[in-house]
Amino acid sequence: MTDIKATLLAQHIETPSWAYGNSGTRFKVFAQKGVPRDPYEKLADAAQVHAYTGIAPTVALHIPWDKVDDYADLARHARELGVGIGAINSNVFQDDDYMLGSVTHPSGRVRRKATDHLLECVDIMDATGSDTLKLWFSDGINYPGQDDIRARQDRLAESLAEVYDRLGGGQRFLLEYKLFEPAFYATDVPDWGTAYAHCVKLGPKAQVVVDTGHHAPGVNIEFIVAFLLREGKLGGFDFNSRFYADDDLMVGAADPFQLFRIMYEVVRGGGLDAGTGVAFMLDQCHNIEPKIPGQIRSVMNVQEATAKALLVDREALAAAQAEGDVLGANAVFMDAYNTDVRPLLAELREERGLAPDPMAAYAKSGYFEKIAAERVGGQQAGWGA
């Protein structure tokens, strides 16, 4: 149990700056009181999540949503709040020029504009001390014959290579994939295999990020995790939940058993070991739930799934597997999943001087009432701001 506690204490889960702003669906974004108006206020809210969970010490930025004049000052502000700047996320999907793609666009001018933005993000990494650039491309085509599928892969490879060469020592980029949307006929990075192939060709500073909402129904995500870990190419996760497509619901809400299965493969493959560099990031949009509590609950869900994964009796499991004991092996697995780890995690928090129930402690803190009263006027942050 001591080893399990030590592993849980070392776990870090990164929250996204955009989760604290107004976000939602294509149909409606519901504004809420107390929403941050700039990146500085987003960091203040993220610091609350870390203060009550103890395992959310970094915040991912999204550029240009989190653009500021002085990134070094923003990093300083984060440190003063007790958090740090995590991954820098690029945005090459919200400009009118990108209607037909960004780095895979038929126009060389548009491709140059998109690649320059990615290089700007590396500059921001330098200024903030971030070591990770996250790349997601909405690029693709909606109709057969609209563009040359192979040529688009060539353009993608050319841009990725330029960004890769710009990375400094200790820096990396994570290439994200998504089955569809907004391109419906052929997405340029539609699956883990495409992302993996590009990353292998580029080298060790290019890895794959797995967004748990970016797969077709029924896809065995834990297999993908196991394979990428085996190959040393799993860079991290964008955690969220889905019922139908890219729903961006709180991680563990739709299928907590899947989250447990994923985390078991992380444990099995050494993804929690120091030095592996696997980043556990949230990527969610809180539309009807309060922002900060939504992030606290999400962090707790990942922590609970991790604790259960660590409780799997791997010796007993291996013995049952070696004997071909199908039901015995499954029973070992299910015993861990069915264990209530909440008392263990409450004890762990108390040992760290934290409240045993982060949700209740935050609710009693008065922080929401404070920001709701103070953050009046100005433009609330949201998608695109």
- Identify the structural domains of the chain with CATH numbers, from first to last: 2-312+356-374 (3.20.20.150)
For 282, the token pair is 């949230």
d(C-alpha 87, C-alpha 16), whole Å = 9
Alpha helical stretches, state H, the chain: 2-10, 39-53, 71-81, 108-128, 149-166, 192-202, 221-230, 256-268, 291-310, 314-322, 326-337, 342-351, 358-365, 367-374
Which DSSP symbol is given to 243? S
Per-residue pLDDT at 26 exceeds 90: no
Q: Where on the phi/psi map is residue 252: left (φ > 0), alpha (ψ -120 to 50), or beta?
A: left
Q: pLDDT tens digits for 36-57?
A: 999 999 999 999 999 999 999 9
Residue-level pLDDT at 384: 59
Give just the sign of the alpha carbon dihedral 45, 306, 54, 171.
negative
Specify whether the CB–CB gap between 65 and 93 falls below 8 A.
no
What percent of the chain has pLDDT above 90? 93
- 329 CB-side CA count, 13 A: 10
Residue-level pLDDT at 163: 98
Q: pLDDT tens digits for 285-318?
A: 888 999 999 999 999 999 999 999 999 999 999 9
Residue-level pLDDT at 25: 75
Specify whether the CB–CB gap between 83 and 43 falls below 8 A.
yes
What's the pTM?
0.96
Query: How long is the chain?
Result: 385
Q: pLDDT tens digits for 221-246?
A: 999 999 999 999 999 999 999 999 99
User: Which 3 state secondary structure label does DSSP give 165?
Assistant: helix
Alpha helical stretches, state H, 204-290: 221-230, 256-268
Phi and psi for 141 in degrees, rounded to 5? -130, 155
Angle between helices 192-202 and 221-230 (to 10 degrees): 10
CA distances to 162, 340, 356 from 315, rounded to whole Å, are 46, 21, 31
Per-residue pLDDT at 132 exceeds 70: yes
Residues 6+ apart with CB under 8 A from 325: none
Q: pLDDT tens digits for 56-111?
A: 999 999 999 999 999 999 999 999 999 999 999 999 999 999 999 999 999 999 99
- For residues 2-25, average pLDDT: 92
Nearest to 16 by CA among 132, 180, 172: 132
Terminal CA-CA length for the chain: 45
- For residues 247-274, average pLDDT: 96
Q: pLDDT tens digits for 167-188?
A: 999 999 999 999 999 999 999 9
Q: How confident is the model at residue 124 (pLDDT cuts 50, 70, 90)?
A: very high
In this structure, are strands 84-89 and 186-187 parallel, antiparallel, or unpaired? unpaired
For 357, the token pair is 């129930």
SS3 content of the chain, % helix, strand, coil (to 5): 50, 10, 40
Specify whether the CB–CB gap between 363 and 293 falls below 8 A.
yes
d(C-alpha 214, C-alpha 14), whole Å = 19
Nearest to 239 by CA among 271, 212, 208: 212
d(C-alpha 101, C-alpha 155), whole Å = 11
Q: How confident is the model at residue 275 (pLDDT cuts 50, 70, 90)?
A: confident
What are the b/e assignments for 170-198, b being 16+ CB within 10 Å?
A: ebbbbbbbbeeeebeebbbbbbbebbbeb
